[in-house]
Structures are given as structure tokens and as C-alpha cells.
Structure 1
Amino acid sequence: MSSAARTAPVTRGTATPAPGTTTTTAPRPTRPSRPPRNRRGRGAAGSRAAAGLSRLYPTHADHVDKARTAARASVGAGYPLPEDAAAIVAAAQDSGGG
């Protein structure tokens, strides 16, 4: 057999694009980054979130008042029904947070 008659070996699973075309590959998905960890293996973001919430709602009464104000404004805008707004305020009262 002459060297001109030899062809390159065919590899399974690979396709050769047609002349004049290009191929693109999809970008690899990236993994979501993890929150920073403290020495005990817990996320440090939890303590920052609690500090932020305590600034927004210094007392439980502040939390309930802001929930009530937001529920009334939402009902006025036509989003929840008044019964749903009452349930939102009741959940805020029962939360014990603040």
C-alpha cells in the first residue's frame, strides 16, 4: 500500500465540521461560590444577617408595625386580598422576632 492511499484513523465520537463552518462549545457551568466559613464550620453570613435585621427592626413592635404598614400599602396597590394582609400581620405578631 502506498503512502498516498493511507488515510488518517477515524476516532469515534468526534465529528469533523463541514468546510467553511465553525463549531462552538457551550461554556462550562460554574459552581456557586460558598459563603465564608468561620472556625466552627458555620457560615459567617448568618451573624451579619442577624445584625442587619436588628438594625431594621430594633424591637418586635417595630417589626409588626412595618409589616402592618407594608401589608396595607400592598392591599392599596391591589396585590394581596385584605384577608391575606391580615394573615401577614398575624404571622409577624407570632414571629417573636425583633
Structure 2
Amino acid sequence: MTGQLLIAIAVLAAGTFAFRFAGPSLRTRMQVPERVRKLSVIGAAVLLSAVVATNALMDGHSFAGYAKPLGVAVAGVLAWRKAPFLVVVVSAALVTALLRLAGLP
């Protein structure tokens, strides 16, 4: 099992290196259409939103309760208002902890 894991890690590392190397080396040889650029930006935002929503609303296979999504919502508002990263993280954790302390699941 450990041998397979090491092989998988090595393959992923090689693939990551290949993609990182291909970007700068192919930049002048390949033109990406403007529509593909726009769609890739939108796709990245949609993927990030889906990850945030999944992690905020679910805890394993069940609903996470109301404290966790409210903490994430506070973080979202503070990030939107361009608060410092540390303030965003600490505020979200504090809101979630206080709501759980108050008995909100």
C-alpha cells in the first residue's frame, strides 16, 4: 500500500511540475482565445464557491448546523469589505464558537 502511495505522489508531483513548466515555455507559442480565458476565470470562481458552500454547510454527510454557515457568512462579508485576513479568520471562528456556546448547533 505504501509503495502505491509513493508512486501516486511521484506521478502527481511530475504532472504538477510539467504543467508549471509548460505555462511559461509555451506562452509565446500558443494563443488562448479570449473566450477560454474568461471561462477559466468564471470556472475558478464557481469551483471555489462550490468548495466553500460544501464545507460551510456539510459536516461529513450531514448538515453542519447553523453556527458554521453563519461564521462563514461573517467571513465572507468581512472579506468583501476588504478586512485583513487575520481579522476575517478570527472573526469567523469567534462567531462560530460563540453561537455554539449559546447552544446553536
> What TM-score, normalized by structure 1, do the two folds share?
0.31
Choose 1 or 2 for highest CA Rg: 1
Structure showing greater relative contact order (alpha-carbon pairs closer than 8 Å, 6 or more residues apart):
1
> What TM-score, normalized by structure 2, do the two folds share?
0.29
More helix by share: 2
